[in-house]
Amino acid sequence: MANHVYRFPQFSLRFAPIWRRNFLVWKKLAKASVLGNVADPLITLIAFGYGLGSLLKSIDGIPYIHYLASGSICMSIMMAASFEALYSAFSRMHVQKTWEALLNAPLSLDDVLLAEALWAATKSLFSGIAILLVMFALGIGLHPATILVLPLLFLTGLCFAAIGLVINALARNYDFFTYYFTLVLTPMIFLSGVYYPVAQLPHWLEQLSQFLPLRATVELVRPIILGGWPDRVAFNLAIILIYSVGAFYLATILTRRRLLT
C-alpha cells in the first residue's frame, strides 16, 4: 500500500472527459465566472494605476499603469487557478462527492487530479485573456509579441493549480483555505514585483523572493507585454516547472492518502 501511495503519477487520456465535464459545468456560468475573475484586477488597475499613478508617474521609465497591469495579470492568473483548485475542487471532492462517483468509473485518481490541474489552468487562462483584452483597450501591450505570454500564463495557472491541490488534500473545510490565501498568496504578491520593483525590498528578502513562482512569472511576462525580452528565462522557467512538478507529485501523494487509504 505504501508503494502505491508514493509511486509516480500514471496518466492516460482518460483525464480528457473529466476536463470536459468541468468545462461544460463552467460554461453555464461562464460570463459571471469571467466577470468575477476580471473585476478585482480591473478595480486594482484603475484604482492604483490611475490613483497612485497620478503621484508615481513611472518606474524605470515605464508608465506606472503599464508596470502595474503587466504584474496584475500574473497575480490574477495565480488567484484564479488557486480558487479553482481550492474551493471548486474541494466541493467536487468533499461536498458534492463528484470525485467519488468518477472513481467508480474506469478512471484512476491520477487522471482526476490531472484533469483538475489542467482545468484550473485553463480557467485561469480564460481570465487572463479577458484581462489582456482590457489592457489592449487601455493601450497596453499592443504588439504581436504579447501573444507569447499566453503559454506562460497557462503554465503559471498549472503551477498554482498544483500547489492548490496540495492544500486541497490537507483541508478539512473551506475555512482552511483562508490561511493559505492570507499567509502564502498575499505575502507572495508583495514580494514578487507586482506593485513595485523587488529591488525596493531588503537585500536578503529580495534574494529569497527570486525563488517564488509568482516573481518568476512576473519577470517573464512583464518584459514581453512592455515590448522587450525577459532576462533569466531558463532560470525563471525552471522555478515554475519545479514548483509545478513537485507540487503535483505531493498533491498526488496526499490525495491518495486521504481517499484511497
Each residue's pLDDT, cut to its tens digit, for the chain (261 residues) gives 556 888 898 888 999 999 999 999 998 887 777 777 677 777 777 777 677 666 777 888 888 889 999 999 999 999 999 999 999 999 999 999 999 999 888 889 999 999 999 999 999 999 899 889 888 988 899 999 999 999 999 999 999 999 999 999 999 999 999 999 999 999 999 999 999 899 999 999 999 999 999 999 999 999 999 999 999 999 999 999 999 999 999 999 999 998 877
Residue 23 lies in a domain: no
Residue 224 lies in a domain: yes
Residue 244 lies in a domain: yes
Contact (Cβ atoms closer than 8 angstroms) between residue 221 and residue 74: yes
Read off the amino acid at residue 75: M
Provide the number of structural domains found in the chain: 1
Residue 17 lies in a domain: no
Per-residue model confidence (pLDDT) at position 46: 76
Domain extent for 210: 35-260
Contact (Cβ atoms closer than 8 angstroms) between residue 163 and residue 79: no
Residue 21 lies in a domain: no
CA dihedral of residues 147, 153, 154, 158 (deg, nearest 10): 170
DSSP state of 107: -
Helix, strand, or coil (residue 173): coil
Residue 97 lies in a domain: yes
Per-residue model confidence (pLDDT) at position 83: 95
Q: What is the CA radius of gyration of the chain?
A: 19
Per-residue model confidence (pLDDT) at position 4: 80
Per-residue model confidence (pLDDT) at position 158: 98
Residue 213 lies in a domain: yes
Query: Which cell numbers hold the place of 134?
Result: 482590457
Per-residue model confidence (pLDDT) at position 130: 87
Contact (Cβ atoms closer than 8 angstroms) between residue 89 and residue 139: no
Residue 10 lies in a domain: no
DSSP state of 85: I
Helix, strand, or coil (residue 97): coil
